[in-house]
Structure 1
């Protein structure tokens, strides 16, 4: 499913540029994705679109997020740490964080792989039509072992 999401991000710069589900499914099949993978991605995107419709951009600066036991188990410490890093860097406001957590919780299996969570973060930015800054894109795309340290 994550390969489909990355393909959509790279091919369609905005969600409104995507064709309807039937046409998109045909295009993804033609590219070589499996039908199960396509349907899973489209269902996940429907949930993302629903979350995006109720998005409100601001939250109190004094708000604090407490993770439930189920969220801690499902997300895992590396993913929660990454979400906290993005929040503290000022690039993931509380409402976007909640969208990320919601969509991560919709993925089966635990704990969540950090690379998969990064794709979810990218898709939340994509859904809202926001472009993450270059340093965040670097954090989302470049593997730690490939980074140049000055």
Structure 2
């Protein structure tokens, strides 16, 4: 399912190509690209639920008065999926204001909805990009995250 999300993001969303509205046409294209039908439906459902999260009422564990500097306590399942490196990266993104409390929770929600046996930091970066791209008003955070993902280091690394 994650491969399909990456394919869609790279070929339609990130490249600013017109996104298909017709699910049948999109499904046919994904089948031709070699993806399985049930995985396609799971990926499309994942994207629909991401869109649903834009409604503030869709995230019941946040309140309008949630402090922006709150500490996040991860559940056992979240710790199993998000290793220390991923959790540290999420905290880093909050500290540099790429993620706020709401978008952090959206990222964690979408990570937990993925059915991948292994989840790594690079996967997390793509999920963050997908979330930020789909949340209006976070264009500068998306641009900053995009720079973090695609930036090539200058000079030799020591």
- TM-score normalised by structure 2 residue count: 0.74
Q: Give the aligned CA root-mean-square deviation in angstroms.
A: 2.9
Number of the residue aligned with 1:30: 32
Q: Which runs of 5+ in 2 are unaligned?
A: none
Q: Does the CA contact (< 8 Å) of 2:98 and 2:144 recur in 1? A: no
Number of the residue aligned with 1:139: 148
Aligned equivalents of 1:27 and 1:111: distance in 2?
27
Which one scores higher on RCO, CA 8 angstroms, separation ≥ 6? 1
Aligned equivalents of 1:115 and 1:86: distance in 2?
14
Bigger mean CA offset, 130-139 vs 64-73: 130-139
Q: Which runs of 5+ in 1 are unaligned?
A: none
Aligned equivalents of 2:135 and 2:22: distance in 1?
18
Shift of 1:43: 1.9
Query: Are positions 1:68 and 2:69 aligned together?
Result: no
Number of the residue aligned with 1:19: 21
Number of the residue aligned with 1:95: 102
Query: Are positions 1:9 and 2:9 aligned together?
Result: yes
Residue 105 of structure 1, aligned match among 99, 112, 115: 112
Q: Does the CA contact (< 8 Å) of 1:12 and 1:18 recur in 2? A: no
Q: Number of residues paired by the alignment?
A: 146
Per-residue Cα deviation, 1:36-64 (whole angstroms, up to 9, x for no partner): 432221121122122123378x7423422
Bigger mean CA offset, 72-81 vs 32-41: 32-41
- TM-score normalised by structure 1 residue count: 0.77
Distance 1:149 1:90, change over 3 A: farther
SS at match of 1:52: coil
Shift of 1:17: 4.0
Find runs of 4+ consecutive structure 1 residues off by over 4 angstroms: none
Per-residue Cα deviation, 1:1-35 (whole angstroms, up to 9, x for no partner): 33322332231357x94413222212323344333
